[in-house]
């Protein structure tokens, strides 16, 4: 009887260890799946934001840019909420998740600053007086995009 329970516990330990090894692969695969899904959702929002930002120079008001800003922030928020609970096992996946979360944070901070600048324009300040602030902000958003590309490369998605 004792021999049978020992063998059963050995089989159970073996099954648990194999399941643990496959969960590491599954969690990294899950990270890739989530990133692909949310990239497909966020990229069109980013393109609309970029178009609205370019049109801002000649636009009579800032409503289109503000709406694109808010839509992109909401999409990035959903992306972040999907990424945070994923547990990674491999160093590349862990670093990719960290870099992507950093990129999302930088995008979000940039978009908040962008909205503040739009509010200043709506408050009566000229677009010309805020030009340098917009240039600095665009550099921050470009750096966030670079981090995003680094994270995608680490995951093997680019």
pLDDT, position 48? 96
CA-CA distances (angstroms) from residue 64 to 83, 117, 119, 145? 29, 14, 13, 22
Average pLDDT, 10 consecutive residues per value, the chain (158 residues)? 46 44 64 96 95 89 94 97 94 96 96 94 89 90 94 93
pLDDT, position 75? 97
pLDDT, position 128? 84
| Domain ranges across the chain | 28-155
pLDDT, position 22? 40
pTM as predicted: 0.80
Nearby residues of 143 by Cβ (< 8 Å), 6 or more positions away: 106
pLDDT, position 60? 87
């Amino acid at each position: 009887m004792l021999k049978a329970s020992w063998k059963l516990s050995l089989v159970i330990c073996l099954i648990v260890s194999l399941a643990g090894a496959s969960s590491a692969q599954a969690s990294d695969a899950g990270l890739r799946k989530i990133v692909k899904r949310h990239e497909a959702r966020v990229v069109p929002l980013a393109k609309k934001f970029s178009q609205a930002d370019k049109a801002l120079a000649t636009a009579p008001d800032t409503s289109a840019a503000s709406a694109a800003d808010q839509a992109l922030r909401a999409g990035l928020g959903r992306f972040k909420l999907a990424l945070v609970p994923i547990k990674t096992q491999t160093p590349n996946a862990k670093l990719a998740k960290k870099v992507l979360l950093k990129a999302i944070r930088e995008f979000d901070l940039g978009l908040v600053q962008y909205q503040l600048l739009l509010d200043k324009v709506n408050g009566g300040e000229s677009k010309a007086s805020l030009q340098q602030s917009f240039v600095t902000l665009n550099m921050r958003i470009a750096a966030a995009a670079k981090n995003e590309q680094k994270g995608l490369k680490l995951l093997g998605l680019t």
